[in-house]
Amino acid sequence: MERLQKVIAASGVASRRKAEELILAKKVMVNGEVVSELGVKVSEKDEVVVNGVKINREEKVYYLLNKPRGVITSTNDEKGRSTVVSLINDEKRIYPVGRLDYDTTGALILTNDGEFANMMMHPSNNIDKVYVAKIKGILLPSEIMALKNGVLLDGVKTSKAKVKVKKVDKESNTSIVEITIHEGKNHQVKRMFEAVDKEVLKLKRERIAFLDLRGLNSGEYRKLSHKEVSKLYVLAK
């Protein structure tokens, strides 16, 4: 059990002092009844409404998932396909931060913290996303330069990228290429390769900032630590 004003403050809708004022002004309801005195304590199960709006009392959680192929990056799917959210054993209303295509594998963060999600997805942030693509064909030096300097997607140039050719297989006419980008436009990596006439056969996101997939097999996930979450805040700001 916790004091009502503390619970309201923790949800972020008001400071503790302001929460006390709201309680005294009869603006706070617990389980449908107006509370007008200070000192009331509530449990996790109690519904708290401030100024007519239910407050979010969920503890904030952050997961790193190694997304398998054939899973949709969404909270639900009309076609009944399994979603990244359904892979995580947590009743909270978590959702993916950004998206990976149905056939793309690798690192994906999920959370119920909207502020964190917005910050991570903001186009101006500095979060490296490292992808490894298996592509059809072999990149020419001019094509590598184009990918590095930016290619046009819908008339807008992509920002600078790092590109490393890891392996070339002349026999099968395929290459393995590591590409690091900051942005997260729809199908960005596939479309960047398309812009230089290369088809992506397989795509994996190996890293988001300092978060790699060490210790996580396909479909496995882990919670991020407080330290990791704060580090992401620092990088993104």
Residues acting as catalytic residues: 101
3-state secondary structure of 6: helix
Exposure on the CB side of residue 170, measured as CA atoms within 13 A: 0
In angstroms, give the least distance from the CB of 100 to ligand URA: 4
Dist. CA 190–CA 40, nearest whole Å: 56
Q: How many helices (H) and strands (E) does the chain have?
A: 6, 17
Residue closer to ligand URA, measured from CB, 71 or 232: 71
Residue 203 binding ligand URA, by CB under 6 A? yes
- List the one residue from 68, 188, 212, 228 that touches ligand URA (CB under 6 A): 188
Which residues, 6+ apart, have CB-to-CB distance to 9 below 8 Å? 15, 16, 19
- List the one residue from 5, 66, 104, 174 that touches ligand URA (CB under 6 A): 104
- List the one residue from 100, 110, 130, 135 that touches ligand URA (CB under 6 A): 100
Residue 228 binding ligand URA, by CB under 6 A? no
Q: What is the DSSP letter of 85?
A: G
Residue 67 binding ligand URA, by CB under 6 A? no
Residue closer to ligand URA, measured from CB, 134 or 190: 190
In angstroms, give the least distance from the CB of 151 to ligand URA: 13
Dist. CA 228–CA 236, nearest whole Å: 12
Contact yes or no for 83/76 (Cβ under 8 A): yes
Helix axes 16-24, 4-11, angle to 10 degrees: 120
- List the one residue from 134, 190, 198, 207 that touches ligand URA (CB under 6 A): 190
Helices (H), ranges, the chain:
4-11, 16-24, 114-121, 141-149, 188-195, 226-236
Residue 187 binding ligand URA, by CB under 6 A? yes
Identify which range of 34-42, 99-107, 118-126, 143-151 contacts ligand URA by CB under 6 A: 99-107
Angle, CA of 131, 226 and 185, to the nearest 5°: 30
Residue 71 binding ligand URA, by CB under 6 A? no
In angstroms, give the least distance from the CB of 146 to ligand URA: 17
Residue 111 binding ligand URA, by CB under 6 A? no
Residue 97 binding ligand URA, by CB under 6 A? no
Identify which range of 117-125, 153-161, 163-171, 183-191 contacts ligand URA by CB under 6 A: 183-191
Contact yes or no for 173/137 (Cβ under 8 A): yes
Residue 101 binding ligand URA, by CB under 6 A? yes
List residues binding ligand URA (CB under 6 A): 100-101, 104, 187-190, 203
